Chain A
Amino acid sequence: MFMPQTAGGSRSEHRLLSFILFVAIALTLTPVVRLFVEGVTIDDRLNLSLFSDVLTQGQTQLALKHSLITAGFGTLVSLLIGSAFAFLVALTDLRAKTTLVFCLMIPMMIPPQITALSWTQIMGPSSVLLKTLGVAPAMGAPQPLYSQGGIILLLGIQHTAIIFLTLRAGLRAIPQDVVEAARISGASGLRVWWQIILPLCLPSLAAGIAITFVTALGNFGIPAMLGIPAGYSTLPTLIYQRLSGLSSTVLAEVAVLAMVIGCVAICGILLQRFFQSRQRVHLVGSTSRPLAMPLGRARLPVEICLWLIVCAILVLPMLGLIATSLVPAYGVPLSFETVTLASWHEALFRQPSTARAFVNSLGLAGGAALVLVLICLPLAWLMERTPSRLGRLFDALVDLPYALPGVVLAIAMILLLINLPFTDATLYGTIWIIFLAYLARFLVVMFRPIQASIRQLDPAMNEAAQSVGATLFQRLRLIILPLSAPAAAAGAILVFLTAFNELTVSALLWSSGTETLGVMIFNLDDSGETVMASALAMTIVLVVMGLMAGLQISARHLPKGSLPWQT
């Protein structure tokens, strides 16, 4: 056993921690290790020559630089929009918060490729919208989004909801008493923000920034759609370009490039953790009333401003997407003569695999969310209570499968699971390989918000329960679960929505019968059926909005604060 005995720890906790840690490491880190072995061996011998070759290539260094720039500034954009929304929605007396947040969540549910597609539809010479307004640029004019700035902007918008959700889960835990106490002691408005609220939500903010940076780093869809036409390559698009090579060392090269992404991600996470560890506060729990500071006369202007942002990042591209799905062929202008539902009909009713894909994606996303709650909740709590070297190592590396581009994780899963050790069985070609890949990829999406919320819990509550003889499972069920339920629910919803639209992991792992919705969209777009892809993507957005509405209706049966868009 690696675990040193610490005060407050018990034997059953150690056993459970070792078990869950083993499961989590097997899920997340073994595929990555298997892939890395590919990069540093030639004919089963350790060989670093390819490693240094790839690292010293100018293209690798340029792509690394581009990845750092786009992921870094993209995170900044997400941070600006996401935290502004989170602070204002969580702490002030804005009206129609539910609707506002509902709308803010939607861009995250559109796969990145489709986001990029819809944005290019509302800018540039072919834009139906601009043509109608009479301001479309001349034919042959450049598309402004095909640039570094375009990639940063869309990465920022795509991931805004991550910052928003994690930060808001943290802000929910701040009880009004704390702020009132500060006010009574004479602290002014600005000082309350700076000295009370900001330090208290720093762990969640740091967690949000970390996930956003890592997500932006591994994003393939946006740099592929906007960067490739501009000749601007990031590490994921460089990997894609390498994969189209004919050489037999291509997997090893890809493994090396994946390691570069992994290292950058780990550095980012460690930096986050450094800042985060300098701030630590314990709260009693989220049982008291949340904050509602009056905005006074600033309320209407602030509301108008927020709704304009929502319009810009949601309504405009959705209009572009709908317009594309309604034309008979790409490039045809939309008018009363040309409008047709043919592609909707074809995508939804003529392609037999669509219904299968809906069932598969719902099952995979729901299953992944459920299993990950069961793993992450006890894991985060036990790791916090019983620090161990193995736990810290896991904590530092758990982001890796999420940071790798989807196609790379998929290759790692194939290498690992095509021949199960000691048997003739294989998971390859079944839906379970996709399911395991989803667990590996999205574990951190669930883990970080729960971890941030558990760090804020006062350990005294658990110790009190322990002292009156509550068993490990009683404590987990009666104390930890209720207190971290909002974060867990937010994490589960985040996992569900991300997995439901997941596009690049399943793209290499599916086989006939196990299509996911992402595979359908990718295949349609890839084989030139952009119009049908748009129709299907729009359907998915509508389905997700329907699911969210369904959750909203059943909200009173859920723990308080678990619906991210509810006030």
Chain B
Amino acid sequence: MKSFLTAAALACVSTASFADTLTLYTSQPNADAQKTVDAFMAANPGTEVAWVRDGTTKLMARLRAEIEAGNPQPDVLLIADTVTLEGMAQEGLLAAYQSPEATAYDPALYSAAGFYHSTKLITTGIVYNTGVETAPTSWADLNDAALKGQIAMPSPLYSGAALIHLATLTGDKDLGWDYYSDLAANEARAKGGNGGTFKAVAAGEKPYGMVVDFLAIRNQAKGSPVEFVFPKEGVSYVTEPVAILSSAKNTDAAQRFVDFVLSQKGQDLVLEMGYIPARNDMGVPAGFPARADIKLMDFDPVVALQNAEANKAKFAEIFGAN
């Protein structure tokens, strides 16, 4: 009980004693979030970062409750997808900021008004268990009748990245909604998020799957019996954008944070963590093909937001609502 009180007292002291505190909500994995914060604080002595890491779903639920109670905590968000942030921007919850670093980025990767800037590319491709006999090379291969009942994919009803994946693939002129109908007919399992999909493939329960690149490539490096494929039609992607809240209490530090993660230094860190940096002319981490060989499929967050509810409803209809 004593140490509990001490810990509580320390928690109070640590939030009160720094005048220049930046509050960050992020969905990066723990170790990565720690690295980002440490590097930013080293580059900005005197600025303390209080940060919370959680899955995007939980983080948004928490933020919604804070907004509802009239006291949103974070100054900066660094979370999974642009569609979530586009929705917030349209509700007036984000502050526009034109970062000078944006010139080194493809205009498709940040909002024209400066509401959010992408920091990395997390692509969704095909993963398969190395115990299988045939390796797929394209999205179309997953509709082979031989793979019936063997495929797992994340559900857009649970995962933001999966909703973007759905919007990208159904927006493709060759694949379209027919592709998803065929997947449903091939008894693909579309439930849960990326973590569950990866586990199902690694465990061999569903030997084929659609999953985000780093989960498969990192675990493959550690020995998981999986292989990741960039399909020949291209890959969908989420970009872990950074954004400043319109209610930010420390706008100055928030802008410095945005500039930092977009800067060469911040992007080197992204590379070091094992992700594809969003900045132009950067390399790729070990295990990835050259950036020029990764074909990104077209995606527009504004359109995706407009269609989000309709896409979910149509998906639920095809795959059976749960």
Contact = CB atoms under 8 A, between A and B. Distances in A.
Contacts of B192: 228-229
Contacts of A508: 54, 58, 61-62, 65
A294 interface: no
A328 B223 contact: yes
A528 B215 contact: yes
Residue from B65, B203, B321 with most neighbouring chain A CB atoms (10 Å): B65
Given A508-B62, A513-B11, A529-B29, A246 B83 contact: yes
Contact of B191 (A230, A243, A362, A432): A230
Which size bracket describes the interface of B in this complex?
35 or more
A430 B150 CA distance: 47
Nearest to B91: A248
Contacts of A296: none
A331 B225 contact: yes
A328 B201 CA distance: 17
A125 B204 contact: yes
Contact of A359 (B7, B50, B68, B309): B7
B157 interface: yes
B131 interface: yes
Nearest to B64: A251
Interface residues of A, number: 73
Nearest to A360: B7
Interface stretch (A210-218, A269-277, A519-527, A537-545): A519-527
Interface string A122-160: 001110000000000001111100000000000000000
B100 interface: no
B144 to A, nearest CB: 14
Contacts, number: 201
Interface in B8-23: 8, 10-12, 14-15
Interface in B173-228: 189, 191-192, 194-196, 198-207, 215, 218-219, 222-226
B84 interface: yes
Given A331-B219, A511-B52, A528-B215, A250 B131 contact: no
A567 to B, nearest CB: 30
A140 B8 contact: no
A428 interface: yes
B216 to A, nearest CB: 10
A356 B158 CA distance: 31
A407 B1 contact: no
A469 interface: no
Interface in A20-51: 38
Contact of A58 (B199, B205, B321): B321
Contacts of A56: none
Interface in A187-209: none
B162 to A, nearest CB: 10
Interface string A295-336: 000000000000000000000000000000001111110000
B87 interface: yes
Contact of A415 (B54, B68, B201, B225): B68
Top 3 A-B pairs, shortest CB-CB distance: A363-B4, A331-B202, A126-B203
Interface of B: 1, 3-5, 7-8, 10-12, 14-15, 29-31, 50-58, 60-62, 64-66, 68-71, 73, 83-84, 87, 91, 129, 131-132, 149-150, 152, 155, 157-160, 189, 191-192, 194-196, 198-207, 215, 218-219, 222-226, 305, 308-309, 320-322
14 contacts: A120-B203, A124-B205, A126-B202, A141-B205, A228-B196, A329-B202, A351-B31, A362-B3, A363-B5, A418-B65, A508-B58, A508-B61, A514-B11, A530-B195
